[in-house]
Structure 1
């Protein structure tokens, strides 16, 4: 206050002196000039009239109800007004900011002019997107803040140089529960020609060492904090593309450079700010949509009506908004290896494998065909790079082997242009939609029935494959109710979780295939009647792919049944399941399965099952399933035929 009083006194003396020389008019103009351009923002803390004027202007323009303000604060309609999806109190300048847009707006304006924080901690820098918007909307002079420099933001902006944006979708990764549905991130491109030099941003839960049930429980009920993070794009390409065998889809967006700058400023505001992560709705893909809305507020991407959000559904939402210019496919390293291997015979594949295993030298290829030699060496190079990316080789081992193969490869010249070009499969958003409603009718034991079924998510082995990873199944809460013509109505199935991962084994990859299923199902007992039981059915084994048979597999499995019809309320056993999935055409596939289980814990009995399911794709939104199944249990046999119509939405 003393410095301020001294400053005021100095201005007063100067004003009196000027009045004596040039009169009241010139004095008034000069005083106005000094007040407007020479007093820093911190000094305006005493100028309540100016601040009140700005608050009044914001009130008159109803800025707290403005769409852009709602996007910047992540406000969504609540039972009593609005509530921000941000949970970190550090994001709000008003104690009521999470639920009161008006209070937060006023607190932001006041903080801009009265905060005693300096540099990057000043609200101008910490909430730079708010500052830029308010500067335009309520027309305050930015020269008032000329003494506040946002050094950290400017440094980061200079490094990243945001100019355009690409939405990226890495395909599902069945060996990581957090990535089973795929994932989305944003790539921020600059003027660099190589996109690997770009930076990327995503939203993810901060997880320590939780696994299994604890991980699922905390993820579903919001016990993890989620943060936005910026990182070099090549790190994710290495992780997803080169290590986890995940193909990536890149959606170039038509955002202008000005819009990208707005998005980047909002991303800066979210630095070190958390919101609680919910696996089914407020997840990695949903929260990322706020960045695109901050770029272009006219988009309403986060207004998705579904009670759950699956990454591929957000891709569809973005594409439907009209901002996708084109799509690029980035095949995984494993996809490249499989493609080159498919061009070679079994013996040539094994030769490439021996070179990668250092069992033979790269100059010992037993063929005189230069074209075949080229493919063998190229396949060996890809395999060696893949192993190094997966830490199977040390850097010294890698460089020695890699350079020796390249040395031999360089003697053979270039391969034919486009020879290794991989045809992009259908992008994920062209697959069937995530939820499914089914109507069916059939006959079992000479009794007709009608069936209604609802599955919230996501994809099964008997659904159309287009847009999905072959051999993968993720089912949640699949519920079927039947009405029999003899008057019975019963719950036929409730598959709480039913996940299958069939990854084919090859010369270059040895993945483990597995499954886990839990829920309620009907089971026939010795009284020849079906009774509802709880089932837990895990399994693991191997899968292979054959041009004639298709994808076939064999799994060892365990089975736990709990129900009052058992002698001691439960029974457990083990067995084997074999099956094959063959795609006949783009619109027709067959799924065959046989299973035998021996129960010897608490109760002794034997169960055999077999089924054949044909799937006919009608369009992206519908399909037909024709089922034929047989089972034998407690010396009772049962045969069933059923036709289902499926609607995806």
Structure 2
């Protein structure tokens, strides 16, 4: 098989020869290029986590085609590394300066810093908090894992985070040339500047950090503070409300005023209410609710609502008068308080009805911005809203005062005026209908608030005598001398609170009657078994221990709604009338009353006060148990009739007749009764020397013939403190 040679055109042959002649030059150029590349940095696109990335021939060709760009890439890397090094150096230098100042001034133990972290260093009394541990048990509130136990560790962690954020900001600003530009720190709501604005503000003032360096865009916080626009703070006091036992001791909240409502307090639609309350379970019964509130089984709840909504609840729904006191704080102090509220509003901490409540939180917030003040420590055992108002007044922290009458108070003022006219003009047929229309909230919608609940209307009546600043101190000590039968005795007692029917009424709601945590011991001075077989031995006995005792009076002929009722939980000494010559015994007693009351007399002119005198009829039921009683128990039902007469501002008298019918159960023993009537009459009179001192006379007569001693009379000196 023969192969024919291929003949090429002349032009093609010459071209091929020229190409072959250039080949050595191309190879030489390629080698020269490879040698040059050895002296250049490795392209960034070929480096992955410290190792060379796989590369193709085309990648090599592309890289060699762009060798002019390699020096710029390497320069950027070097500049970035240098910038990070500079940032680290600047942060360390800043941190070192701060740490030195912190050490020199011992800022880790500064009162304000520890108060910002919920350390209670100056809390007194056996109910005081652990001074070495913050009461906040939430890891999110601390930057340091030891922050709850060590305020110094938390301060250092705060400074570290702040130094890092400030140097990052300074670097980004230097790169952009715009101090207002957004950066990674300012867009992060978890930055310390956004999470802890109150801490940052205090540190900026203490460490002289420029405000411009602390500028941050914190959308959530900025929106919140812009909405509230805090310019001025006031404390609002809503008076006691026995018909809701959880509000029996009154309530306080903070009114947050903007510039508009601060300039004109009637413009309440520009204000907000900060309410510290218990986050209870609505499904719990009242008894369970009360117990859990007392022992801290519920968490607190911080509510911030439009002020008109809260005010309407007190004035219209609960019919409670309100007193508002402007706090003598500067706008900057008010704003710092609100920054701190932002930091703490999401915390879950136990709520204690008597110690950590709506009133104590207001004192704590003021203490945060006033390190020289020690308000909360001045109320070491129990914190009551009215005590807080009086304390703030004594400390000169209350400025302008405003009284806002409840809707029922305004209706009562109208009722008083109509009754006065009726007395002057004589009876007319439409009087009863007129009274009904005035008393009805539905038919008579008069209110201190406008119909849209946006503004306060001008007050048209005089101020009622229920300003809590004017009331007597709630704690009481008393000593009395008396005689029971033919045996003399001395009584000594204390009462943690609150106010009974005969106490000085100024500063309280009318006819207010609520006592709690009261104890009385009695010392008999006679040990004469011969003269009287049943005389008490010469010894000290527990006469009474009251957990709670109170009555809510809502007279049927007044503008107030609600019922008249009462309840008592106590251990007390009673006379057992089931046996001949029965003596007194200590028993546990649980009682409840319900019925009607009527106010009469002439009220103070142009006020919404009810007439000063009161009579009542109450149906009662009582259960008692004790070893001294026949069969160890008795149950009773009956009627209690009484009146209280206000003779003048210093003198009051109360008379009451109790008609209980007791049942012990049937008995076969001779001369032992299983059921019987036991009428008891009492008379009390009190004269006030001033807000803190009074004399009281109490007399009791038991109309049961089978008792060893029927009468008891006592004169006591009472000191309020």
CA distance, structure 2, for counterparts of residue 508 and residue 433 of structure 1: 29
**Which residue is 2:619 aligned to?**
556
**Which residue is 1:622 aligned to?**
693
Instruction: Decide which of 642, 646, 659 is 1:579's aligned counterpart.
Output: 642
| 1:470 shift after superposition | 2.0
Instruction: Decide which of 183, 188, 210 is 2:256's aligned counterpart.
Output: 188
Native 8 Å contact 1:350 1:507 kept in 2: no
CA distance, structure 2, for counterparts of residue 628 and residue 139 of structure 1: 69
SS at match of 1:274: coil
CA distance, structure 2, for counterparts of residue 142 and residue 185 of structure 1: 32
Cα displacement string for residues 333-385 of structure 1 (whole angstroms, at most 9, x for unaligned residues): 1100001110003666634466x5xxxxxxxxxxxxxxxxxxx7xx8788442
Native 8 Å contact 2:653 2:685 kept in 1: yes
Instruction: Decide which of 327, 336, 339 is 1:265's aligned counterpart.
Output: 339
CA distance, structure 2, for counterparts of residue 190 and residue 133 of structure 1: 23
Native 8 Å contact 2:136 2:148 kept in 1: yes
**Which residue is 1:497 aligned to?**
548
| 1:125 shift after superposition | 1.1
Cα displacement string for residues 84-110 of structure 1 (whole angstroms, at most 9, x for unaligned residues): 233433222222222221111112222
CA distance, structure 2, for counterparts of residue 291 and residue 614 of structure 1: 43
| 1:626 shift after superposition | 0.8
| 1:613 shift after superposition | 0.4
Q: Structure 1 length as normaliser, TM-score?
A: 0.82
RMSD: 3.2
Q: Structure 2 length as normaliser, TM-score?
A: 0.74
| 1:83 shift after superposition | 2.7
Give yes or no for the alignment of 1:592 onto 2:658: no
Structure 1's 381 and 180: CA in aligned 2 closer, same or farther, altered over 3 A? closer
Instruction: Decide which of 257, 278, 286 is 1:205's aligned counterpart.
Output: 278
Native 8 Å contact 2:94 2:163 kept in 1: no
**Which residue is 1:444 aligned to?**
484
| 1:12 shift after superposition | 5.9
CA distance, structure 1, for counterparts of residue 635 and residue 267 of structure 2: 54
SS at match of 1:121: coil
CA distance, structure 1, for counterparts of residue 286 and residue 575 of structure 2: 32
**Which residue is 2:633 aligned to?**
570
Cα displacement string for residues 388-439 of structure 1 (whole angstroms, at most 9, x for unaligned residues): x9xxxxxxxx99xxxxxxxxxxxxxxxxx98x42333241122111110001
Gaps of 5+ in 2: 1-46, 51-71, 122-127, 166-183, 423-427, 453-457, 527-537, 603-611, 666-673
**Which residue is 2:106 aligned to?**
62
Structure 1's 305 and 329: CA in aligned 2 closer, same or farther, altered over 3 A? closer
**Which residue is 1:135 aligned to?**
204
Cα displacement string for residues 207-252 of structure 1 (whole angstroms, at most 9, x for unaligned residues): 1222322112111111111132211111111100111010001111
Native 8 Å contact 1:45 1:113 kept in 2: no
| 1:275 shift after superposition | 1.9
**Which residue is 2:133 aligned to?**
83
Instruction: Decide which of 564, 568, 585 is 1:517's aligned counterpart.
Output: 568
CA distance, structure 2, for counterparts of residue 507 and residue 501 of structure 1: 14
| 1:584 shift after superposition | 0.8
Report the structure, 1 or 2, having the larger strand content.
Answer: 1
CA distance, structure 2, for counterparts of residue 163 and residue 313 of structure 1: 26
Matches within 5 A, 1:607-618: 607-618=678-689
Matches within 5 A, 1:358-397: 383-385=443-445
**Which residue is 2:235 aligned to?**
167
Structure 1's 221 and 132: CA in aligned 2 closer, same or farther, altered over 3 A? same
The structure whose Rg is larger is: 2
CA distance, structure 1, for counterparts of residue 558 and residue 496 of structure 2: 38
Structure 1's 546 and 105: CA in aligned 2 closer, same or farther, altered over 3 A? same
